[in-house]
Amino acid sequence: MSQILRRPRRLRRTDAIRRLVRETRLDVSDLIWPLFVHAGPDPIEVASMPGVLRHSLGSLVRSCAEAEILGLPAVAIFPSISPSLKDPQGAHGLSQDNILYQAVRAVKKECPGLLVITDVALDPYTSHGHDGLLSPDGNTVDNDATVEVLCRLAVLEAEAGADIVAPSDMMDGRVRAIREALDAARFLDTAIMSYAAKYASSLYGPFRDAVGSKIGKNAISKSTYQMDPANRLEAKLEVRLDEIEGADIVMVKPASYYLDIIREVRDIAAVPVAAYQVSGEYAQIHAAARLGWLDYQATRDESLLAIRRAGADMILTYFAREVAEGISRDQGSR
């Protein structure tokens, strides 16, 4: 007679029983697809992000239409600005006809039901690549001066048609200021998805290739505003503050190295929690798969499932489109 009373393996025997007891599922509705757009006539691949393009306006709109058909609820659009249009103030961000606002208008015209999310930050537009304005002595990123510009950016994005604005700069007090600016301009229904716990991570490299926001060697570090990867309690403080200031959704970024933070944030927040599987996470999986060291699809799917299991209600991921395709295919075959 067997001595083992409890045999958990019973519930792992077949695919059917595993499906029956599965605790976490990835749904197309959980995914947000980040997309890049530039002013050129043709899409250009981002070298460090296989399969990711800097879209032309035309190819961006086509991709958004496909996303909508696949059932993806939202895209996040990031501009890649020509270096000749950048300056230390990021003035091009305030130009109503820049490629981001054109893109948002075009996408909302073609796909009115698809949610468009835009970053509120200056890094696509500044020659130094920082998310904000430098102080007059050039030694720091000036919080309060930056917040004023962020408010103007957010209103311009909302005017172009963005459904959700996403301050990604980690300045203090910007969520409240942006909420007030949006409300004053009567954009009462434009939501704020705050990059609440955004870490100063090594994993943003490929994104900075994509938008050309690499920071020079001797410049100020983004660690003066993004969070220290060593810190956990501070993430809870940031989330609490952003909730009080009026964030509709809070985000943890990056995702995979910060699953503990996602869990803690999910446990304390009263609003939906987003996680951003960033460019470096995407690039790592592609690179290992190219070398034949990891199975591409299995690693990709496990990474997203783990982020969901940790507590993310929604995930920004460059895999969104292909995973959505896979999910609809699987559901069709059952």
Instruction: Supply the residues annotated as catalytic.
Output: 198, 253
Tell me the two tokens of residue 23. Answer: 């605790």
- For the chain, the first-to-last Cα distance in angstroms comes to 40
Q: Is 119 in the site for ligand PBG (CB under 6 A)?
A: yes
Q: Is 208 in the site for ligand PBG (CB under 6 A)?
A: yes
Q: Which is nearer to ligand PBG, 121 or 158 (CB)?
A: 121
Q: Is 131 in the site for ligand PBG (CB under 6 A)?
A: yes
Select from 84-92, 115-123, 185-193, 301-309 the region that touches ligand PBG (CB under 6 A).
115-123
Tell me the two tokens of residue 6. Answer: 């409890």
Among 33, 36, 125, 204, binds ligand PBG (CB under 6 A): 204
Look-up: residue for tokens 């690039």? 283
Select from 19-27, 91-99, 141-149, 200-208 the region that touches ligand PBG (CB under 6 A).
200-208
Among 36, 125, 187, 207, binds ligand PBG (CB under 6 A): 207
Return the residue nearest ligand PBG (CB atom): 207
Among 48, 146, 279, 317, binds ligand PBG (CB under 6 A): 279
Q: Is 309 in the site for ligand PBG (CB under 6 A)?
A: no
Kindly give, in sequence order, each residue whose CB lies less than 8 Å from that of residue 80, ignoring residues fewer than 6 positions away: 36, 37, 38, 54, 99, 124, 210, 211, 212
Q: Which is nearer to ligand PBG, 213 or 256 (CB)?
A: 213
Under 8 Å between Cβ of 166 and 241: no
Select from 157-165, 185-193, 207-215, 289-297 the region that touches ligand PBG (CB under 6 A).
207-215
Q: Tell the smallest beta-carbon distance from residue 74 to ligand PBG (Å).
A: 15
Least Cα distance to 123 among 158, 153, 148, 101 occurs for 153
Q: Tell the smallest beta-carbon distance from residue 193 to ligand PBG (Å).
A: 12
Q: Which helix (H) or strand (E) holds 76?
A: strand 74-80
Select from 51-59, 119-127, 149-157, 325-333 the region that touches ligand PBG (CB under 6 A).
119-127
Q: Tell the smallest beta-carbon distance from residue 3 to ligand PBG (Å).
A: 51
Kindly give, in sequence order, each residue whose CB lies less than 8 Å from that of residue 112, ignoring residues fewer than 6 positions away: none
Among 278, 283, 304, 312, binds ligand PBG (CB under 6 A): 278
Q: Tell the smallest beta-carbon distance from residue 151 to ligand PBG (Å).
A: 16
Distance CA 109, CA 61 (A): 9
Q: Which helix (H) or strand (E) holds 33?
A: strand 31-38
Q: Tell the smallest beta-carbon distance from residue 253 to ligand PBG (Å).
A: 7
Select from 134-142, 171-179, 201-209, 306-314 the region that touches ligand PBG (CB under 6 A).
201-209
Least Cα distance to 276 among 324, 326, 310, 242 occurs for 310
Helix locations, the chain, DSSP H = 15-21, 57-70, 99-110, 143-160, 174-184, 205-211, 233-245, 259-268, 279-290, 296-310, 320-332
Q: Tell the smallest beta-carbon distance from residue 290 to ligand PBG (Å).
A: 19
* DSSP for residue 14: S
Among 168, 190, 256, 317, binds ligand PBG (CB under 6 A): 168
| Plot region of 138 (φ>0 → left; ψ -120 to 50 → alpha; else → beta) | left
Q: Is 121 in the site for ligand PBG (CB under 6 A)?
A: yes
Q: Tell the smallest beta-carbon distance from residue 119 to ligand PBG (Å).
A: 5
Under 8 Å between Cβ of 126 and 88: yes
Q: How many residues bind ligand PBG (CB under 6 A)?
A: 12
Tell me the CB-side half-sphere exposure of residue 35, using CA atoms within 13 A.
34
Burial of residue 208 (CB within 10 Å: 0-12, 13-18, 19+) is: middle
Binding site for ligand PBG (CB under 6 A): 119, 121, 123, 131, 168-169, 204, 207-208, 213, 278-279
